[in-house]
Amino acid sequence: MDLVLHSGDVFDSVRPATHVIIGFLKQTFRITQRDIPYLVAAGNHETPRLRSTTAALEYANLVNAISAHGFEIDYEPVEVDGATVGVTLVPHGAVFGTGAVTPSRDADVNILVTHGLVPGLEARQHEMGEANLQPGMLEGGFDYIALGHYHEFHEHKPNAFYAGATERFGFGEVESKPGFAIVEFDSKGLKSVEHVEIETRPMLDLPKISARDMDAAELTETVHERTSGVELDGAIVRLRAYDVRRGVASGVDRELLRDLQRRCLNFSLEVHAEERPEDMERNGSSTAVFGPLGEEFAAFVAERRERGELEAKFAEEFLEKGRAYLVRAASEEPESAA
């Protein structure tokens, strides 16, 4: 028999859309109705800032899943094949100020489930950021530590792994292999950890276009070339053009772009006036935020308005609405990395 663990960020928000909650309940019930225990520790995205706010993850209880989504550590002993599996859940809200966590003496197998960055985590030569999971918490002699937050399958220690995400969340993850981990135990403890890849929506980052000296017709022709003979149907596709002169982007053939948008789940032609792609790639994404978000957004709108991609009146409304959303989001969401 099995047991399912989710190490967090089931949802990307404290208040996800209704269809998202229903999707979660349906899929979770497929597991729990077979009497397979399902336990989840909340991540940063779904943890309310205020202790008085209810998290959507509480719905998990309706389908008999066990969820820790508040500010306390939860310990749940679960019977699996005559063995007692002691699951210690440390949700995001309980990570801060949590020192050492110790396994239970009464359990046959002890598992810690938590969400955050381990010390020294590097991804593609980039330091991921400051660790919030303290060494004391990760050295407690558990048979296994199920980590969440980082989207790649990753071995932190022989007994501590990030299972990785089940879907890609941005072009910074175009090389990722989404999936989950199967962890097996025997009478001696941890036996094996295996990453199982799953099929997801294809994501394609097409070869960049260097558009120096191109006019609109030439850029159109190059977009056509780059997208010909590629399996685009249902894919998430990005095509970046650099060194694009003013006024050129607005002259790219609309019919071609509409056709690409119809075929792809999402097609984005990113137009950059700059000529050096590496400036834009510090985080593997051109949407990396370098300044405070409000200023960054205002600059984004101004730039596109100047380039003629946005009409003046629309740009103004867009800016105003966007700013309001940013203020609202900032008051609702905890700070987050992933």
Q: What is the residue-wise DSSP string for 136-147?
A: HHH-S--SEEEE
Q: Helix, strand, coil % (nearest 5) of the chain?
A: 30, 25, 45
The 10 Å CB-count burial string (b at 16+, else e) for 307-328 is beebeeeebeebbeebeeeeee
Q: How far is the CB of 246 from Mn ion (least distance, A)?
A: 39
Beta bridge partners of 266: 236
Complex with Mn ion: residue 69 or 149, whichever CB lies closer:
149
Collapsing DSSP states into helix, strand and coil, what is residue 110? Answer: strand
Of 168 and 272, CB closest to Mn ion: 168
Smallest separation (angstroms) from Mn ion to the CB of 165: 10
| CB closer to Mn ion out of 39 and 237 | 39
Q: Smallest distance from the beta carbon of 117 to Mn ion, in angstroms?
A: 9
Q: Residues with Cβ < 8 Å from 328, sequence gap 6 or more?
A: none
Nearer to Mn ion, 266 or 336 (CB): 336
Binding site for Mn ion (CB under 5 A): 9, 43-44, 149, 338
In the chain, the amino acid numbered 327 is V
CB of 7 to Mn ion, least distance (A): 9
Query: Residue 255 Cβ, how far from Mn ion at the closest point, in Å?
Result: 41
Report how far residue 186's alpha carbon sits from residue 183's, in angstroms, rounded to the nearest whole number: 10
Q: Are 117 and 128 in contact (CB under 8 A)?
A: yes
Task: State the minimum distance, in angstroms, from the CB of residue 337 to Mn ion.
Answer: 7
What is the closest distance, in whole angstroms, from the C-beta atom of residue 69 to Mn ion in the complex? 13
Nearer to Mn ion, 48 or 86 (CB): 48
In the complex with Mn ion, the residue whose CB is nearer, 308 or 334, is 334
* The two three-digit tokens of residue 262, written as one number: 């119809």
**How buried is 114 (Cβ within 10 angstroms: 0-12 exposed, 13-18 middle, 19+ buried)?**
buried
Comparing CB distances to Mn ion, the nearer of 65 and 95 is: 95
- Biggest CA-to-CA distance, the chain: 73
